[in-house]
Chain A
Amino acid sequence: AQTVTQSQPEMSVQEAETVTLSCTYDTSESNYYLFWYKQPPSRQMILVIRQEAYKQQNATENRFSVNFQKAAKSFSLKISDSQLGDTAMYFCAFMTPSGTYKYIFGTGTRLKVLA
């Protein structure tokens, strides 16, 4: 069975600094998708970034980028120029495009951006 591990329950970063959130996963599948979701205090789940396993290039979305290491089964999220609005829970998720397409979520990292 697939598992997703986020080893950092809480992190903090100064505004304008860079922070990296870690995520590791375990799977025997070769084709899968990885996601980072942000859940602010409103509790609306917001997609931050997605990565297809078959793509070697790391995904980027403005200030957000990932370091996808397929062999190491690692999928970390880097937030550059952190802003107060980045304060939220961040969840890493894994999905295989077959069967039910359900997500396996990590336990989350609570990020606080300090002014």
Chain B
Amino acid sequence: GAVVSQHPSRVICKSGTSVKIECRSLDFQATTMFWYRQFPKQSLMLMATSNEGSKATYEQGVEKDKFLINHASLTLSTLTVTSAHPEDSSFYICSARGTDYEQYFGPGTRLTVT
């Protein structure tokens, strides 16, 4: 149990376009989901905390207008990178919090902006 999926696993987009990443909890309901960004050989950096039915809470330094997060249901959260630029290229990971406080992680999405 406690499976989290992410779609797509890889995406390439042109500079200036927007891209949406989906995060789904497949076998449990998640009131809270988290979005991370990870650069090569570095740790996970929390971008925002997403609560179902309310606005996301962004970490300091994360542009909320650039990284739009929507958590419309108990099993789905989306991250939209708006007007993407090459510096937004990274590995994005989502997680969903279970009832036992533990976070269950998705497999990640590799975004490349050309």
Residues in chain A within 8 A of chain B (CB atoms)? 33, 35, 37, 42-45, 47, 50, 91, 95, 97, 100-103, 105-108, 110
Contacts and interface: CB of A to CB of B under 8 A. Distances in A.
Given A43-B107, A44-B108, A45-B105, A101 B43 contact: no
Given A43-B107, A45-B93, A100-B49, A91 B101 contact: no
Interface in B56-114: 57, 91, 93, 95, 97, 101-103, 105, 107-108
B43 A103 contact: no
Given A43-B91, A100-B32, 9 more contacts: A37-B105, A43-B38, A43-B107, A47-B102, A100-B57, A101-B101, A103-B103, A105-B43, A106-B43
**Interface of B, helix, strand, loop or mixed by DSSP:** strand
Contact of A102 (B34, B41, B102): B34
Interface of B: 32, 34, 38, 41-44, 46, 49, 57, 91, 93, 95, 97, 101-103, 105, 107-108
B108 A103 contact: no
A109 B93 CA distance: 19
A115 to B, nearest CB: 23
A50 B102 contact: yes
A91 B41 CA distance: 12
B32 A97 contact: no
A42 B6 CA distance: 14
Contact of A103 (B41, B46, B91, B107): B46
A21 B110 CA distance: 28
A43 B108 contact: yes
Nearest to A35: B102
Nearest to B103: A103
A35 B57 CA distance: 23
Contacts of A110: 41
